[in-house]
Every structure is written in structure tokens, then in C-alpha cells.
A and B are shown apart, each in its own frame.
Chain A
Amino acid sequence: MMKLEAIIQPSRFESVKDALREAGIEGMTVTEVRGHGRQKGHTEVYRGREYTVDLLPKIKLEMVLPDKLVNLVVDTILKTAKTGKIGDGKIFLTKVDEAIRIRNEERGESAL
């Protein structure tokens, strides 16, 4: 089992979600986050006062996948989330030791 965390552009989120659904992936957890990597922020001006906004809005996608689906999901996200500009985000993969379904206490990949 692998946990996948992807930070993507909010504007690409709908496409990524649709593509994952088409690929038959079920279940994901999504949060609105703010952050930045190498991308620079922008400035906002309120009554003449300039503020540099360097933490930009992003979408964080989290999902735990059976090993056999990992490549498919990574490819789908890469294909749909890419705009080619700085700020497209990153994908992180980590190994997961155990998964437990709360409802019936199933364990392992069948709990996913």
C-alpha cells in the first residue's frame, strides 16, 4: 500500500478528479491549502498598501492506494495537473503499513 499526496493547482483540480474517476479510482481526501515552492507570490494593494502574498492557494489530494494502482494514478495526475509553468505542484509517495476500515475492522488492502 502506498499513500499518495499531491499538491496541485486549484485550477487543475476538476480535471484531475474527473480523470481519476474515469480511470476507476475510488475515494480521495481533498483539502484547500496554502503554500509555495519555487513559485513566487503576487502583490495585492489595499488603499495604497502593498502586500506580497507568497503563500498561494493550492489543493492537496491524499489517497492510499493498492500497489498495483500507484503507477496508473501517478500517470493520470501528471497528465492532467500539468500546465508546464512553475507552481504546478508535487507528488509524494510513502509506504503505508496498515489500513483499517472502521465499519467492519477489515485490514490491509481490502480495507481501501
Chain B
Amino acid sequence: MDSGNRNFATRGVRQARIISHAKRGIPLWSQPDVPHRREDFGNGVKRVNKRILKCCSLLLLVAICAMPVRAQQSAAPSAAPASSNAAPQDNSKAVNDKLADLEKRVSAAQSAGDNAWMLVSAALVLMMTGPGLALFYGGLVRRKNTLAIMMQSFAMMGLITVLWALVGYSLAFGGNGHFIGDFSHAFLRGVGVDPNPDYAATIPHMTFMIYQLMFAVITPALITGATAERMKFSGTVLFMTLWFFFVYAPLAHMVWGKGGLLNAAFGGKFPTLDFAGGTVVHISSGVSALVCALYLGKRTGFPKHPMPPHSLVLSFIGACLLWVGWFGFNAGSALAASGLASSAFVATHFGAAAAAVGWSVAEWLKNGKASALGAISGAVAGLVAITPAAGFVGPMPALAIGLVAGIFCYLMVTRVKALFGYDDALDAFGVHGAGGTIGALLTGVFAQQVINPIFGAGKPVGGLDGHWGQVGNQLIGIAISWGFALVGTILILKITDLVTGFRVTEEQEHEGLDVTQHGEEAYYMEM
């Protein structure tokens, strides 16, 4: 096994690669005396020649002895020219060429399958931002702010993509620093159709790049849930640009990048299991969302005036799109159309379903009714919590994680928020921060080597395997993500506030952000 695959696993990058090699390798390489690498070619030819010569002499002996009884069969004539040297060489060359060709075709076939799944996954993850998150958040705000919140999500699809292409990808995945990448892939230099074996050996580097981009798009968009209905558009654009460079890119590198501090697969210092982004995406955005909500202050009139969602129908559709898109997010994080992807797919679905049930039951017991908003919020909380765990846990632990996350996030959103009185308008922290944290912690408890032997075959992974130290590792990873997001966001907020300002005026807030920030209305009345 690869030496790089030592301690902890992030996103199953290494794992997918190892599995794919093993699959390809066993049938071809396990045959003795068949050369399997280009470097070995010369040796292999010699070995094969020797063997063919041996066979030929044996056959010749048998032929001479048994001449009258049973003369050569069809195989014999081909073996007959043993006396000459050129023929077996041609023969073995043909065999080797054929094997090399076969190996090429097998790997091309696998690459085709993996690439197809990864391109679909990338598209699914983009669908989570627009329309998924845009609709989910769009329905939760008052009607005068509908377009503004949707635009904040959509703007990330444009803005972050451009930044990613220029230097973002390189800062997240270039080089092998502890904290951040480098500029080696700036302007996507060296990112072509050939795979990058460091991250995903069976798919084009471009596929890997575009897939990772979709995560970078949705993460800042999640924060807008906390700042909804009162944040300036100019402030949003500046904040998100800075946040992407100074929080997202370094954290993505630390957890998923080569040499990253928290990266298990590449020998990072603090091994944190994070299959699809519990720390990078959900803790980082959720914690930053809380900081933003505190810094920005409450919406005018909160909590005295009612601010109910203006269209739960929109939110409902958005949540369902998020659920479907999450299969690309989590199962795609296997970076291959592998068994691990199936396992992550199942865990994702089970986590979401159990959390929807958990939240609904908690709400039913408390209020006497199970609401639609509760059920969809629960599902999203479950999806968040299962994200770090998806590629490490079996179906039953996935149900458990979902159930716990559903109830935990329900309490965070209803009790804890009310207790502290912060105005996390659409519960970006209550769902993503809280769900991401509980999910990252429970990953350490439920991760199993039968699902993903990330620490090497047969070695225990999480608490269920008896490796309870992993829970401690998870706590370190959580603490670093929290701290990093906290400090980074506070600094960025200060800068943004100085340059563009952050909050709209009270008058603009009353009038609504659609008209004051964008000059349009979501629901235009022809009167």
C-alpha cells in the first residue's frame, strides 16, 4: 500500500486510488513472470524467453519419445521453432504488447466509468447552490428579500468560479504546504485531461478541478443564510472574495490538500476524518455565519415583529434539490464510481431520512404538530452531519448519526438560538455549524475499517473498531476549523466594514433588499 496512506483520511482521495489500483492490478500482475511495468520490461522478456525455451525443449523431448503414439497437436507447431531464437522473441513481444494494450484498455474503461460519475457529481453539487440553496433560502425570507438572497447564492456561482480558475484551485490544491497551496496551478496551468495521481488517478485533472470548484461555490453561499435580509450586496461580494481566499482555500488545503496539516491521507499532523467536507464546508461556513450574524446585529424588529418564511413551497423544492444534489457531494467524494461511492450514497440517504424523522418527532412532541419546515430542515441537518462520515460508516451508524443530528439541530435552532438571542436569520449556524460539528465528532465514533480501511488494511479506524483515539483527533480537527473560521471571519468582517460597509440602512431594510440592492422585485404586481 502507498506510504502516503498513513494516518487519517480525507475525502477518501487516497482510498479511491488504492482500490482502483488493486482492482486493476490483481488479475494482471498476479500472474507470475508476466511483466507488469514498463521498467520491468527487459527483465520480463528475458524471463519469458527462458520459460518458452524450457517448454519447447520439454515438448521436443516428449515429441521424440512419443513420436509414433501421438504426434504434435496444433500447439506443437508453434512451439516447434524452438531451435531458432527470433521466433519466441517475436512471440513474447506480441504477448507483451497485447498485455500492455489490455492494461491500457482496462484503465481507459475504468477512467471512462469514473469520469462519467464524477462529471455528473460535479453537476449535482452545482445544482445544490442553484437552484437548491437559492430556493431553500429564498422561500425562508420575507418576499421583499427573495431575489436578494437568491442572488447572493447565484453570485457565488459566478464570482467563486472566476477566482477558482485564476488562482483559487492552485491555492487549495497546488503544492504541498501545511496551511495553503501555492501558485503552481495558477491560471489552471498544468490542469488538463491527464489525471493528477496525487488526488485522483483515474479521472482527468480537469474533472477533479471542476468537482472541487463546486464545493468552493456552495460554501460561502451557505453563510448568506445568517446575514439574510440586511446585508449589502457590495459588502457580500467583497466579504465572500476575501473569505474564499483567507478561510476557504487554506482550510481546503489543510484538510484535503497534499501536505495539509489535517490531511490524513498525506500524513498531516492532526488526523481528521472528513470524507466530503464536514469541516471544510459546514463547520467553516456555519461558524463564520454565526460570527457574521453577531457582528451584523439583528434584523430591525427582530424578534418582536413576525418574520415568517414567505413561501415554504420554494423552500420545500430547494430542500429536495439539496437532498438529491448531496449524492454528488458525498458519493462523488469517493472520486470514483466505486463501491465506496455506493456506500457513501447509501449513508447519505439514510442520514438525511433519519434526521428528517428525528427533527419531526422532536417537534411533534414539543408543539403537537410535525411541520413541513421542520421535516425539510431536519433532512438538511442530517445531510450536513453525514457529510464527514459518508465514506466511513455503514448504513446503521448512518441512521444513528442522522437521528442524533436531527434532534440536536432542532434544539440548537429552537432552544439555543432563543437562549442567546442572536439573529441567525435562516439558521446557517444552527444547521451547518451545529450539524457539521456533531457529524465530525460522530464520524470518529462510527468510522469502520470494513467500510474504508483508510489507516491500512485491517487497522482500526474509529471508535466502533476500538480506536477511540480517533474521537480525540476529530476534536482537534473541529477545534482548528472553528478557530480558523472564527479568527479569519472577524478580520475579514473588519476589512469589509471599512471598505464597503456591511449592513444596509434601516430604511433600505424596511423597503427590502430586492428593490434597494438590485432594483427589481421578485413578485412584480402589474398595477
User: Does B427 sit within 8 A of A, measured CB to CB?
Assistant: yes
Stretch at the interface among A7-15, A16-24, A40-48: A40-48
In the complex, the chain A residue whose C-beta lies closest to that of B303 is A49
Inter-subunit contact B308/A51 (CB<8 Å): yes
B309 x A46 contact (CB < 8 A)? yes
A-B pairs under 8 A by CB, number: 25
- Give min CB distance, A86 to chain B, whole Å: 22
Select which of A47, A51, A52 is within 8 A of B373 by beta carbon: A47
- Chain B interface secondary structure, helix, strand, loop or mixed? helix
Q: How many residues does chain B have at the interface if contact means C-beta atoms less than 8 Å apart?
A: 17
Least Cβ–Cβ distance between A94 and chain B, in angstroms: 26
Any A CB within 8 A of the CB of B51? no
Residue of B nearest to A48 (CB): B414
In the complex, which of the residues B303, B371, B377 contacts A45, with contact meaning CB atoms closer than 8 Å? B371
Contact count band on A: under 10
CA–CA, A49 and B373, complex, Å? 12
* Contacting residues of chain B (388-428) with chain A, CB-CB under 8 angstroms: 410, 413-415, 417-418, 427
In the complex, what distance in Å separates the CA atom of A49 from the CA atom of B418? 9
On whether the beta carbons of A47 and B306 are closer than 8 Å, the reply is: no
Encode A63-100 as 1/0 by CB contact (under 8 A) with B.
00000000000000000000000000000000000000
Take A51-B306, A51-B308 as given contacts and tell me if A45 and B367 are in contact as well, using a CB distance cutoff of 8 Å. yes
Tell me whether A48 and B308 are in contact (CB under 8 A): no
- Bound state CA distance, A48 and B413, in angstroms? 7
* A1 and B515 alpha carbons, distance in the complex (Å): 45
| Least distance between B266 CB and chain A CB atoms (Å) | 40
Q: Is the CB of B418 within 8 A of A48?
A: yes
A51 to B373, CA, bound (A): 15
* B298 CB → nearest A CB, Å: 13
* B369 sits at the interface (CB 8 A): yes
User: Which residues of chain A have C-beta atoms less than 8 A from B477's C-beta?
Assistant: none
Bound CA span A52–B306, Å: 8
Which A residues, 22 to 56, have Cβ-Cβ distances below 8 Å to chain B? 44-49, 51-52
Of all chain A residues, the one with the shortest Cβ separation from B371 is A45
Q: A52 to chain B: which residues have CB within 8 Å? A: 306
Let me know if B267 is at the binding interface, CB within 8 A. Answer: no
Whole-angstrom distance between the Cβ of B69 and the nearest chain A Cβ:
91
Interface: B374 (CB within 8 A): yes
A45 to B369, CA, bound (A): 9
Within 512-527 of B, Cβ neighbours of A (below 8 Å) are at: none
Q: Nearest 4 pairs between A and B by C-beta?
A: A48-B414, A51-B306, A47-B413, A46-B308
Chain A residues packing against B (C-beta within 8 Å): 44-49, 51-52
13 further contact pairs, Cβ within 8 A, besides A47-B374, A47-B377, A49-B303:
A44-B308, A45-B367, A45-B371, A46-B308, A46-B309, A46-B373, A47-B413, A47-B427, A48-B410, A48-B418, A49-B308, A51-B306, A51-B308
